[in-house]
Amino acid sequence: MSNDSSLTKNEERVLFGMVKYPNASDKILATYLHMKDSTVNYCRNQLEKQDLFQVVYLPILNRLGFELLCINFAEYNLKISINKRKNSMAKDIKLADDIFLRIGDPEKEFSISVNKNYSEFHKNTLARLEKMGNLGILTKNPENIIFPINYSIIYNFFNYSGILRHAFSIKNTDLTNKDRDENLLKDKKTVKFSSIFGNQDLTILSQKEKDVFIALIDYPNKSIKEIAELNYISLNRNTLSKMRQKFLNNGLMRKIIIPNLDLIGFELLVYYHFRFRPDKPPTNEIIQNLNSTATILFFYNDFEAVILCAFKNYSDYKFDKVKKYSYLNSHEILGKSPEPRKYLFSNLEHIRKFEFGLLSRNI
């Protein structure tokens, strides 16, 4: 795979702008990116035709009764053929209502699940383990890392704007200045990614609100008119539009855009799991040094951190790894931690890719 994006410079800038401000219109993006409205519209259509991004409505699950964010890692039994394992996992996926992201390569898998409490997590995990254990798919029990959402710091939750800006070499001079930028988008109620889960107030939805909420999650690319005409919705467009805006304004859901990194020159996905010494919880300085332009996911608490990064090549990964471990070891912060787990995009299979529909049905 080439290390360079196959996109034009305009397409790169528009993809970055869409990811940074997913609710922005072409007109607003054109002002932000110093481009013509028609150019932005053309590039957006070209990116969509090439399947270079995925639109997702992210439910803010801690506002809806979910307490635990769980990172799950499993190693496959290589004696089982890949086809047999895939067939078995296709059946198993029906049991995994709590998982919204599940990726695997020929040797291992990584997934993220959300549960209402530890009892639910235990029940769901046991169901998967029993199924996969009986089929002989695993070599040992999976590793599960649990983060209570309201008692953890979710530093980055699939915000790709930083990684794209670095990869596409987008400069400050390419963009509207910061003050105008904030004024330009203030009416969009843009929420910083670091504060997506900051509001901990629990919200109870009516049955009709649940139906609409789930439909928006299930069909992120459908128009308001198409969703309003669904048999189980049967609302006029104006009412449905107001409900969607209410969900967004009240911080119950967030529109995000996920770029398909494998199609724009990225080769490697890396999963870091750091355990900190109990007498040295992470400071802001430590977190800043663990973060990088390659980061797309970052959770931490006083005892451990999980970071997901993407790289264009192995050399970039090695540089990032050495920098992280050198800093942690020189400051005597690191406890016993596993080696980073690496996934080649060329071998990667998305068993479930940012699918929140099943989770939302458990609201």
pLDDT in tens, 194-207: 467 888 889 999 99
What was the pLDDT predicted at 131?
Answer: 81
pLDDT bin (cut points 50, 70, 90) of residue 84 is: confident
Least confident among 99-103, 118-122, 180-184, 304-308: 180-184
Task: Return the exposure string of 9-18: e unless at least 16 CB atoms fall within 10 Å of the residue's CB, then b.
Answer: ebbbbbbbbb
Q: What residues contact 130, with CB distance under 8 A and at least 6 apart?
A: none
Residue 114 lies in a domain: yes
Q: 8: how many CB neighbours lie within 10 A of its CB? A: 11
pLDDT bin (cut points 50, 70, 90) of residue 56 is: very high
More confident residue, 174 or 10: 10
By the 10 Å C-beta count (0-12 exposed, 13-18 middle, 19+ buried), 216 is classed as buried
Q: Which residue has the tokens 């040295």?
A: 280
Please state, in angstroms and rounded to a whole number, the distance separating the CA atoms of residues 88 and 19: 35
Residue 213 lies in a domain: yes
- From residue 337, alpha-carbon distances to 126, 285, 351 in Å are 25, 20, 27
| Torsion sign, CA atoms 313, 316, 318, 321 | negative
Residue 4 lies in a domain: no
Output phi, psi for 100, to 5 deg. -110, -20
- Provide the percentage of residues in the chain whose pLDDT is more than 90: 70
pLDDT over 80 (residue 110): yes
Residue 74 lies in a domain: yes
What was the pLDDT predicted at 177?
Answer: 66
For residues 72 and 138, state if they share a domain.
yes
Task: Return the exposure string of 169-182: e unless at least 16 CB atoms fall within 10 Å of the residue's CB, then b.
Answer: ebeeebbbeeeebe
Q: Which residue has the tokens 């010494």?
A: 277
What was the pLDDT predicted at 92?
Answer: 60
Identify which of 263, 248, 266 has the alpha carbon closest to the alpha carbon of residue 212: 248
Residue 107 sits at the vertex; the CA angle it makes with 291 and 334, to the nearest 5 degrees, is 35
pLDDT over 70 (residue 179): no
Token code pair at residue 316: 């970039």
Residue 159 lies in a domain: no
Which residues on adjacent β-strands are paired with residue 72? 111, 144
pLDDT over 70 (residue 152): yes
Residue 42 lies in a domain: no
Q: What domain count does the chain have? A: 2
Average pLDDT on 10-32 reads 94
Q: Which residue has the tokens 């409205």?
A: 37
- From residue 148, alpha-carbon distances to 115, 118, 273, 307 in Å are 10, 10, 16, 16
CATH code (residue 146): 3.30.70.100
What was the pLDDT predicted at 190?
Answer: 45
**Among residues 181, 214, 249, which one ends one of the domains?**
249
> What domain range includes position 119?
62-151+351-357
**Among residues 249, 283, 307, which one ends one of the domains?**
249
pLDDT over 70 (residue 63): yes
Q: How far apart are the first and last CA of the chain?
A: 42
Residue 94 lies in a domain: yes
Residue 116 lies in a domain: yes
What was the pLDDT predicted at 126?
Answer: 87
**Among residues 249, 282, 302, which one ends one of the domains?**
249
Q: Judge if pTM exceeds 0.85.
A: yes
Please state, in angstroms and rounded to a whole number, the distance separating the CA atoms of residues 145 and 164: 28
